[in-house]
Amino acid sequence: MFRSLVLGLAALALVVGGIVAEEYKGKLTKLDTSSKKLTVETKDGEKTFSFSDLKIERKGKDGNEAVDLEKASKMVEKAGAAGKSPYVTVVTKKEGDKEVATEIKMGGGKKKEKN
């Protein structure tokens, strides 16, 4: 009986966690560190999110690596100027009636084939 209760609570936590967290995929067009806002161009249009504590990860040669917020902002600005905004997944959570960005996962685009 205790095992059923624990498994039931674990399943409930996963379902509620999935409802609260949301993911958006698209091009990161703006990452403003001073106003703590970021803009992502998704297939459904442009979405802007605020953030306070933002975790940024980038796929590297040896797995995922953390990226500093200032460094990421400069990367996005430089890539945007070249017309090559990075493809990202933005993870958000609900805070009241707003969605707040908590994590950015950079990378994951298609690999180029070698000839």
Query: What pLDDT is stored for residue 12 in this prediction?
Result: 58
Share of the chain above pLDDT 90, in %: 40
Q: State the greatest distance between any 2 C-alpha atoms of the chain, in Å, as a whole number.
A: 60
What does the angle CA 27 – CA 31 – CA 33 come to, to the nearest 5 degrees?
Answer: 170
Which carries the bigger pLDDT value, residue 84 or residue 9?
A: 84
Expressed as residue numbers, the domain containing 101 is 22-106
Which DSSP category does 110 fall into? P
With tokens 């796929």, the residue in question is 59
Q: What is the CATH number of the domain that holds 52?
A: 2.40.50.320
Q: Which residue has the higher pLDDT, 28 or 6?
A: 28
Give yes or no for residue 17 having a pLDDT over 60.
no
Q: Residue written as tokens 């500093």?
A: 68
76, 68 contact by CB (below 8 A): no
H or E element, residue 46: strand 45-60
Are the CB atoms for 57 and 103 separated by under 8 Å? Answer: yes
User: What's the structural domain count of the chain?
Assistant: 1
> Is residue 17 assigned to a domain?
no
